[in-house]
Structure 1
Amino acid sequence: MPRTPQHEDEGEHQALLRSIPPSLSSSVKSPGLSSDSDDESLGEVEVLRAIESDVLQETATYGRNLNWWSAYILIMSRVIGSGIFATPGSIAKSVGSVGLTLLLWVVGAIISACGLAITMEYGCMLPRSGGEKVYLEFTYRHPRFLASTLVAFQAVVLGFTASNCIVFGEYVLFALDIEPTAFSQKALAVGLLTVITIIHGCFLKTGIFIQNALGSVKIALCVFMGFTGLYVVVFRPNTASGAPPNTEIFAWDNLWKDSNWSWGILSTALFKVFYSYAGLDNVNNVLNEVKNPVRTLKTVGPAALFSACLLYLLVNVAYFVIVPIEELKESRELVAALFFEKVFGQGFGKTVLPLAIAISGAGNVMVVTYALARVNQEIARQGFLPYASILASSRPFNAPLGGLLVHYIPSLLVIALPPPGDVYTFILDVEGYPGQFFALASSVGVLLLRYRRPDLKRPFKAWIPAVLLRIALCLALITAPFFPPEGWQGDVDFFYATYAIVGIGILVFAVLYWYIWTVALPRWRGYTLEEKVEILPDGTSITKLVHITPL
């Protein structure tokens, strides 16, 4: 009889079950499989939300609704944001040459593959929703609750979606030729965030369909831009500007002309490239909803990385062919606008490009909101949010509405409260910096688990040199803000490392909170914190942290 997707899921489940120590295998049940499974070897087992049970697959109460293509879009829409429409001009200006610019996009993909390999090893070993939350809790079990507290702080306090909401508002107003104001930009940004929260919270499958459609449009736009450049090179049609394609720039002597190999310049340019590849681990946050999660994870991440790298190279080549190199270097964030203007004329470019970037921003907000809501739901299930029975439940619309609301509130505040300008940029820098500590911890954690737990089944194993390179990159990103930028005189409003200090301060506050909550108060009041499992009416298992006082 042919194997169905359900049988394949159960086969993966059995393979992972063999990796659990015998002492735990009799007391762990995967909520993704019913107790009357065809495989009698599972037997009747007690529901237990022990850390060790993370090696088992678990199906979300609202089902596995993400096929391979949906998982691919979840990554691609997260990776392809507004960066490819804005950063190539500034990168080309800083490094000087076409060849070095293209080389950096390839190097960025290779280094990003190192981080992807680590998340693939973790995800295939621990196929659960939650991403880094699951991985850090499983790896760093002592001190007790510390890893969980840090992840919860980072996800709830800094896990907001603001930048692409603002981008959406700016470019919609520009396309409609409406004079932008701070209020109108923020109103559109809040409106987008609100609509997406309602769609994902009340209409689960409709939300997946819409984000798949927006992601497909975004990919199609990059393909269109790339092949437009190739078409101009091959057929040399008359463009709106009347200038011939600049193909001689790819001659070997011209390719590397004016290259700037200074490490300081290259590192700054590389950081911009890295941000354009960020989000390759987005599907790890929602593995409870992915069909055949282990098999999907082993292919969808590399496919997305290869696709993104190819699209970025095609679009960059199109820019260099159509836009004169000196104009491109001075274009700043308007390189894509220059491209459309040169090919189609000012009117078409002024309308189509802003709408395309607005669609790109909306697609990014949809997939980020979708994924982070699941992380918040997992944090609530673990007992680290108040009203866990409400926030972890999938009622009333069979969707993680509680996790969406936890994500919505800080995102709304970040959009609405700060004035436009440097303060907003500063907040976004603070958002990203602590994430490097978690990336470092997960990279080191892969090596620790290889040593401590060789018994775990690893359907995918990261290459050790790739792990070491990822660790070195995280250390570089953590220390980089504390080196003064070139020409700094000490007379600016903000100290250059302020955002890093604030980010570290948030982590320190989280550690103090953990110590007071789990160590100081229990000692003072004479109780211990214990975990109690509870099953909600919708079938969701949650952990409640209760105070146990010795008799």
Structure 2
Amino acid sequence: MSNTERQPLLEPGSQRNDVQAISNRDIPVYPDSLPGPAYGKSLTWWSCYIIVVSRVIGSGIFSTPGSIATSAGSVGLTLLVWLFGTILSACGLAVSMEYGCMLPRSGGDKVYLEYTYPRPKFLASTLVAVQAVALGFTASNCVIFSKYTFFALNAQPTDLQYKTLAVGLLTAITIIHGFFLKTGIYIQNTLGWLKIFLIGAMSLTGIWVLLLHFFGWAIDTSAPGSSQTTIESWDMLWEGSNWSWSLLSTALFKVVYSYAGLSNVNNVLGEVQDPVGTLKTVCPAALLTAGGLYFLANLSYLLVIPLDEIKRGGELVAALLFERLFGDVGRTFFPLAIAISAAGNVMVVTFALARVNQEIARQGFLPFQGFLSSSRPFNTPLGGLIVHYVPSILVIALPPQQDIYNFILDVEGYPGNIFALAVAVGLLILRYKEPDTPRPFKAWLPAVWLKVLVCITLLVTPFIPPPGGRGDVHFFYATYALVGIGVILFGIIYWYVWTVLLPSRGGYKLEEAVETLDDGTPVTRLVRSYYSH
């Protein structure tokens, strides 16, 4: 398709009332272009900064360092993985910034994929919808809440008790958001301030540890059965390194997961004052903030806790740090605070993803559209909450308890990497096809290519057997990759059946028509247009 043939996306608040005009568009109708109240430009620079930082800094830095150290095997390689993961996240951020400045509309990667790959019709939209519904869960933070709660209480729970508490948290949050809208918002805002306090405590702890070592005041890291391989042991920095592509790829997935959300403002650009100017400054500021805090946190772990304890600590490495630095008070107070912070993260993500599911339903890509699109009876996205709740519960309940967290991160990361590759390649395609399109920000071309090459590498390496044939889970090392591919293949099959096979046999084609539900919610109805004989 040439540049002149591509019709631009509808601006927020604009409307097209005739079905034929909508059906002829290559780009699907977006929620902010449907009839109904237009969103105001209410988000300032600082609002966007908080939106990004609060989304990026979650439980990842408290829970992933142990698994990353296990995969890397040594202090030096652990730090190298974090450094490379940060660089990779910056490359991905540059790609999102160029797209966002070129298409300053709400929707993020969904908009970019639909714009770049308009053919086959509905395929990009369907794949995004399937990925959002099938993998849009918050199970990882539910698991962190459960583990840190039991650790703070000095309890030794069974696998069933771990899972029950995690499921109970998600159930309670779903009920609160589904029936008590204002109460849920108040609670998640309160818990958000607690997370800010924890982030400050982590950064101050890192600075304090660095100052102690700078002035030669060592912290006792001895423990029965522990080696003393910390960041201080420069002569043993690389001892035990696992130079396995399979293990390092899973470690990189977890580092990138810790930076997930750097492009969160792209999802709400339609509501941002000066979207282009804000995007060009907010995202780098958030990256520097998160990178600085992660650097201090990792130095704290590696200076205070011997490496073998970090590996054994798993998701509880932050609890070990606070226990060593602050004794019994640290062992109880800080892990409990992290558990509450994880619960707050579950509330925020559930709040957002339920609305994503509702918008996907509004565009006609989910069954039971009337129920899932409606905000009745409590003025909440109850249907979207249910769609979010079911896969989250399954992911918590099915895998073995000791493998739940790592498996969740890996199975989320693999399909996400497929979409990241599609977005990065799409940027190169648009630069070739649409060289004259205004680009207020252009990503450094080597960074785009690095993103593409690393994405391809991360998609291939999970199938390379690690040493001993085992990864960081107790079942087949490539299971998460197979699950991710399975989700994508299911999306393709689903798209083919309902947009190609059934219409060809039924003698009709699908067109998009704007309708309004009884509660005033605008939806895009995919209607059948039968061929005349």
Establish whether TM, by shorter chain, passes 0.5.
Answer: yes
Q: 1:480 aligns with which of 461, 480, 489?
A: 461
Match of 1:228 in 2: 205
> Contact 1:283 / 1:371 at 8 angstroms: preserved in 2?
no
- Could you tell me which amino acid in structure 1 is paired with residue 173 of structure 2? I
Superimposed CA distance per residue, residues 248-294 of structure 1 (whole angstroms, 9 cap, x where no aligned partner): 98789669575959474765644443232223233333444555544
Partners of 1:268 and 1:473 lie apart in 2 by: 13
Q: Match for 1:542: what amino acid?
A: V
| Per-residue deviation, 1:201 | 4.6
Matched positions, count = 515
Match of 2:162 in 1: 185
How far did residue 179 of structure 1 move?
Answer: 4.4
Partner of residue 194, structure 2: 217
Equivalent positions of 1:68-107 (< 5 A) are: 68-89=45-66, 91=68, 101-107=78-84
**Contact preservation (8 Å) 1:130, 1:375:** no
Q: 1:544 to 1:93 in 2, by over 3 A?
A: closer
AA aligned to 1:484 is P
Give the drift of 1:506: 2.7
Change (3 A) 1:73 1:356: farther
Q: CA shift at 1:222, angstroms? A: 3.1
Give the 3-state SS of the residue equivalent to 1:544 in structure 2.
strand
Indicate conservation of the 8 Å contact 1:75/1:282, yes or no.
yes
1:194 counterpart (171, 176, 179): 171
5+ residue gaps, structure 2, are: 223-228
**C-alpha displacement at 1:241, in angstroms?**
5.5
Q: Give yes or no for the alignment of 1:404 onto 2:385.
A: yes
Task: Give deviations 1:221-257, integer Å, cap 9, x for gaps.
Answer: 23323323433554679999599xxxx9878966957
SS at match of 1:448: helix
- Give the corresponding residue for 1:168: 145
Please state if 1:340 is matched with 2:322.
Answer: yes
Alignment-derived partner of residue 366 in structure 1: 347
| Correspondent of 2:365 among 358, 362, 384 | 384
TM-score normalised according to structure 1 size: 0.79
Query: Separation in 1 of the partners of 2:400 and 2:303?
Result: 39
Which of 272, 281, 304 is the aligned partner of 1:299?
281
Equivalent residue for 1:309, pick from 288, 291, 314: 291
Among 156, 163, 171, which residue is 2:133 paired with? 156
7, 12, 35: which one aligns with 1:30: 12
In structure 2, relative to structure 1, the CA distance for the partners of 1:266 and 1:293 (3 Å cut) is: same
d(CA) in 1 for partners of 2:504, 2:497? 10
Q: Where do 1:276-291 residues align within 5 Å? A: 276-291=258-273
The residue aligned with 1:38 is: none
Give deviations 1:120-142, integer Å, cap 9, x for gaps: 22233333343222221121111
In structure 2, the residue matched to 1:40 is none
The one of the two structures with greater contact order (alpha-carbon pairs below 8 A, sep at least 6) is: 2
**Where do 1:482-521 residues align within 5 Å?**
482-488=463-469, 494-521=475-502
Task: Please tell me whether the aligned partners of residues 80 and 360 of structure 1 are also in contact (alpha carbons under 8 angstroms).
Answer: no
Compute the displacement of 1:421 (Å): 4.1
Tell me, yes or no, if structure 1 residue 128 matches structure 2 residue 102: no
Q: What is the aligned counterpart of 1:112 among 86, 89, 105? A: 89
Question: Per the alignment, do residues 408 and 266 of structure 1 end up closer, same or farther by CA in structure 2, a change over 3 Å counting?
Answer: closer
Give identity over the alignment, percent.
59
Amino acid at match of 1:437: I
| 1:543 corresponding residue in structure 2 | 524
1:437 is aligned to 2:437: no
Q: Could you tell me which runs of 5 or more consecutive residues in structure 1 were left unpaired when the two chains were aligned.
A: 1-19, 36-43
From 307, 310, 332, the counterpart of 1:351: 332
Preserved contact between residue 73 and residue 242 of structure 2 (Cα < 8 Å)? no
Counterpart of 1:15 in structure 2 is none
Show the counterpart of 2:119: 142
1:297 maps to a residue whose letter is L
CA distance in 2, matches of 1:438, 1:230: 37
Structure 2 distance, partners of 1:318, 1:442, is: 35
Kindly indicate whether the alpha-carbon contact (under 8 Å) linking 2:254 and 2:409 is maintained by their aligned counterparts in 1: no
Distance 1:237 1:460, change over 3 A: same
1:273 alignment partner in structure 2: 255
Matched, 1:532 2:509: no
Distance 2:10 2:250 in 1: 48
Q: Residues 439 and 74 of structure 1: is their aligned pair in 2 closer, same or farther, counting only changes over 3 Å?
A: same
Deviant stretches of 4+, over 6 Å: 20-23, 44-48, 53-57, 235-240, 248-252
- Tell me if structure 1 keeps the 8 A contact 2:30–2:363: no
**1:92, distance to aligned residue in structure 2 (A):** 5.2
Shift of 1:106: 3.2
The 3-state SS of whatever aligns with 2:173 is: helix
Conserved 8 A contact 1:133-1:375? no
Change (3 A) 1:110 1:427: closer
What is the root-mean-square deviation of aligned Cα atoms in Å? 4.0
Q: Label 1:376 to 1:95 Cα distance change in 2 as closer, same or farther (>3 A).
A: closer
1:413 is aligned to 2:394? yes
Moved more, 96-105 or 297-306: 96-105
Distance in 2, Cα, partners of 1:419 & 1:329: 19
AA partner of residue 323 (structure 2): E
Decide whether the 8 Å contact of 1:172 with 1:358 is kept in 2.
yes
Amino acid at match of 1:285: N
Maintained 8 Å contact 1:114/1:470: yes
Decide whether aligned partners of structure 1 residues 208 and 454 sit closer, same or farther in structure 2, where only a CA change above 3 A counts: farther
Deviation at 1:548, TM superposition (A): 1.3
Mean Cα deviation higher: 503-512 or 536-545: 536-545
Amino acid at match of 1:382: Q
Matching residue's letter, 1:405: I
CA drift of 1:445 comes to 0.9
Counterpart-to-counterpart distance in 1, 2:307 and 2:491: 48
Distance 1:436 1:285 in 2: 18
Q: Deviations over 1:156-205 (max 9, x none)?
A: 12222212112212222332344424444334323322343344455656
Matched, 1:452 2:433: yes
One-letter amino acid of the structure 2 residue matched with residue 436 of structure 1: N
